[in-house]
Amino acid sequence: MKYTKLSKEAYNLHFIYTNRFKKTRIRINFKEKLDEEKIVYRNMLSLVLMEATKKFNSRRLLEIECENLYDIDVGSGTNILGNYNILSFYTAFINEKYTEPKMTEKSLEFFLDFIFNPDIKDNKFNEDTFNVAKNKLHVDIEKFSDNPGRLADYNFRKLVAPNTPASIKAVGELKDLDTVTRSNLYEYYKYLINNDLIDIFVIGNINVLKLEKLLDKYFKNKSIKENSSHILIHKDKTKLVTKKDTKSINQSILYMGGKVFDLTDFERWYVLPIYNEILGGGPASKLFSEVREKNSLCYYATSYFMGVSSIEVITSSIDSKNCDKVVKLINIELDKMRKGDFTDADIKKAIISNTAFLEEMEDSPDSIMRMYQNYEYLHLDLKDRRIKLFNKVTKEDIVRVASKIEIDTIYLLEGSKRDEKND
Partner 1 sequence: MKKTIKNLGLNIYSKTLSNGMEVYLIPDKNSHNIYATYNVRYGGKDNDFVYEGKMITVPKGIAHFLEHKMFENEDGNEVFEFYSKSGANANANTSNIKTTYLFSGKNNFEENLEYLLSYVEKPYFTDENVEKEKGIIIEELEMHKDNPSSRIMEKCLYNAFVKHPYKYPVIGTVQSVKSITKEDLYKCYNTFYNPSNIFIVISGNIDVNKTFKIIEKHENKRNIKNKEIIRKEYKEVDKVAKEYEEIEMDIKYPRFGIAYKINIEDYPYDKDLFYKHIMNAIDLKFGTTSLFEEELRNKKIINDSIYYTGVKTDTHFIIVIGAETTNVKEAEKRIREEMTSLSINEEDFKRRIKLSIASTYEVLDSIYAMNSMVINQLMTRNEIDYDPIKTIKSFNLEEINKYLSKLDLSNTTMCVVRKDK
> x/- contact string, 286-315, with partner 1 (CB under 8 A)?
--xx--xx-xxxxx----------------
Map the footprint of partner 1 across residues 94-113, applying CB under 8 A: 94, 98-99
User: Which residues between 399 and 418 bind partner 1 (CB under 8 A)?
Assistant: 415, 418
**Footprint of partner 1 on residues 160-219 (CB under 8 A)?**
none
Site for partner 1 in 218-277 (CB under 8 A): 247-251
Is 150 a binder of partner 1 (CB under 8 A)?
Answer: no
Question: Where is 299: in which H helix or E strand?
Answer: none
Q: Which residue among 6, 174, 240, 284 contacts partner 1 (CB under 8 A)?
A: 284
Mapped onto helix, strand or coil, the DSSP state of residue 290 is helix
The CA radius of gyration of the chain, in Å to the nearest whole number, is 24
Quote the least distance from Cβ 251 to partner 1, whole Å.
4
Touching partner 1, residues 121-140 (CB under 8 A): 128, 132, 135-136, 139
One residue of 5, 38, 59, 338 binding partner 1 per CB under 8 A = 59
* CB of residue 128 to partner 1, shortest distance in Å: 6
* CB 390 within 8 Å of CB 354: yes
Selected from 42, 349, 386, 404, the binder of partner 1 by CB under 8 A is: 349
How many C-beta atoms surround the C-beta of residue 299 within 10 A?
10
- Strand order of the β-sheet with 73-81 is 2-7, 12-17, 197-204, 23-33, 84-94, 73-81
Residue 33 or 348 with smaller CB distance to partner 1: 348
Query: Kindly report the CA angle at 131 between 125 and 136, in degrees rounded to 5?
Result: 120
Strands (E), 205-335: 241-247, 252-259, 301-306, 311-318
User: Strand, helix or coil at 353?
Assistant: helix
Q: Are 301 and 330 in contact (CB under 8 A)?
A: yes
Q: Given CA atoms 376, 261, 264, 282 in this order, what sign does their dihedral have?
A: negative
- Closer of 37 and 360 to partner 1 (Cβ): 360
Choose, by CB under 8 A, the member of 68, 207, 227, 391 that binds partner 1: 68
Q: Which residues are bridge partners to 322 per DSSP?
A: none
Contact 195, 222 (CB under 8 A): yes
* E strand segments, 95-196: 120-121, 124-125
Nearest residue to 171 (alpha-carbon basis) of 129, 149, 139, 125: 139
The single residue among 176, 362, 376, 406 that binds partner 1, judged by CB under 8 A, is 362
* Residues in region 23-42 near partner 1 by CB under 8 A: 23
Nearer to partner 1, 31 or 182 (CB): 182
Residues in contact with partner 1 by CB under 8 A are 20-23, 58-60, 63-64, 67-68, 70-71, 94, 98-99, 128, 132, 135-136, 139, 142-143, 145-146, 148, 247-251, 282-284, 288-289, 292-293, 295-299, 317-319, 345, 348-349, 352-357, 359-360, 362-365, 415, 418, 422-423
